[in-house]
């Protein structure tokens, strides 16, 4: 089976969680699955920007990205965070190849048109999964940072959840899993929703039950499901050990997002 696993920056910040996730991914490959990993790094990027004297601003969960912020994202996401994750997989005996969405032109982007203008924030408009398949054929794991190259030659910062959905769609993944620092999607009563239909998302957004970074995540879940990905689950990172048994109906942690 093909899996796309998205890791957030908060998970990557915790060495114990990072290695737990890496171990689970290595086990998935050992069990005969093909796994691609897409990672964010917002925590690390915000910290580096602060060290450079820049204040991070967000609109609808998306970072306003001027040229200096974009260049810093290339350094932090495409460099440090990406290579630490490759190293974590390697420590469990699993080879991995780190790349950005711009490498091999795996993903192409265009500037996201929004008000206010978000700067060098992009959206995926085309994909070519041949490099992913080549890496899988070698028994390795592609590790993708959330950056893509535009047709104008500029790199664009891509929301990592959107990148994960695009990756799952282009490689026709059987499942997309978001490993997060929250237990799942909480309903109006504050309890984790074990199942969430894409038809419920608009209402929950209107009522401000979901907000911030959960907005692009659920939008990405919806896009993946509507474009052929069979299963989408938001799973707490501390439950990463369940990944190899994801298709087991007994796995009930987190929130599974459904088409209807």
Mean pLDDT of 221-226: 93
CB 5 within 8 A of CB 168: no
Burial of 143 (0-12, 13-18, 19+ CB in 10 A): buried
pLDDT tens-digit series, residues 67-99:
999 999 999 999 999 999 999 999 999 999 999
C-alpha torsion sign, points 79, 82, 85, 91: negative
- pLDDT value at position 12? 87
Single out the residue of 121, 118, 98, 97 nearest to residue 110, CA to CA. 121
Instruction: Please list the residues that pair with 144 across neighbouring strands.
Output: 38, 99
Query: Annotation-wise, does 184 bind a ligand?
Result: no
* Residue 157 is labelled as binding a ligand: yes
Which H, E and C letters describe 110-141, residue by residue? EECCCCCCCECEEEEEEECCHHHHHHHHCCCE
pLDDT of 153 over the 90 cut: yes
CATH number at residue 169: 3.40.1160.10
How far apart CA 87 and CA 70 sit, in angstroms, is 24
Distance CA 146, CA 158 (A): 5
Domain that holds residue 122: 2-258
Q: How many domains does the chain have?
A: 1
Which helix (H) or strand (E) element contains residue 59?
strand 58-59
To the question of whether residue 203 is assigned a binding role by annotation, the answer is no
* Tens of pLDDT, residues 4-40: 999 987 788 889 999 999 999 999 999 999 999 999 8
Q: What is the mean pLDDT of the chain?
A: 92
pLDDT over 90 (residue 136): yes
**Model pTM score:** 0.93
- Residue 186 among known ligand-binding residues: no
pLDDT-above-70 percentage for the chain: 98
Cα 168 to the center of its chain, rounded Å? 10
pLDDT for 82 equals 96
């Amino acid at each position: 089976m093909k899996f796309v696993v998205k890791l957030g920056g908060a998970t990557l910040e915790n060495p114990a969680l990072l290695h737990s996730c890496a171990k689970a991914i290595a086990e998935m490959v050992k069990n005969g699955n093909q796994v691609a990993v897409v990672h964010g790094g917002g925590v690390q990027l915000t910290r580096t920007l602060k060290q450079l004297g820049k204040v991070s601003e967000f609109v609808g969960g998306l970072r306003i990205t001027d040229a200096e912020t974009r260049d810093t994202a290339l350094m932090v996401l495409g460099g440090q965070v990406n290579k630490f994750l490759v190293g974590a997989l390697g420590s469990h005996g699993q080879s991995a190849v780190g790349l950005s969405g711009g490498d091999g032109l795996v993903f192409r982007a265009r500037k996201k048109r929004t008000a206010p203008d978000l700067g060098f924030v992009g959206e995926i408009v085309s994909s070519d999964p041949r490099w992913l398949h080549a890496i899988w054929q070698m028994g390795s794991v592609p590790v993708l940072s959330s950056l893509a190259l535009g047709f104008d030659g500029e790199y664009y910062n891509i929301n990592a959840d959107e990148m994960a959905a695009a990756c799952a769609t282009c490689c026709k993944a059987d499942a997309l899993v978001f490993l997060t620092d929250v237990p799942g999607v909480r309903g109006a009563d504050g309890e984790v929703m074990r199942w969430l239909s894409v038809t419920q998302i608009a209402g929950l957004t209107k009522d401000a039950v979901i907000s911030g970074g959960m907005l692009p995540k659920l939008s990405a879940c919806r896009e993946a499901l509507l474009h052929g990905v069979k299963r989408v689950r938001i799973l707490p990172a501390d439950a990463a050990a369940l990944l190899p048994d994801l298709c087991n109906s007994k796995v009930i942690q987190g929130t599974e997002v459904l088409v209807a």
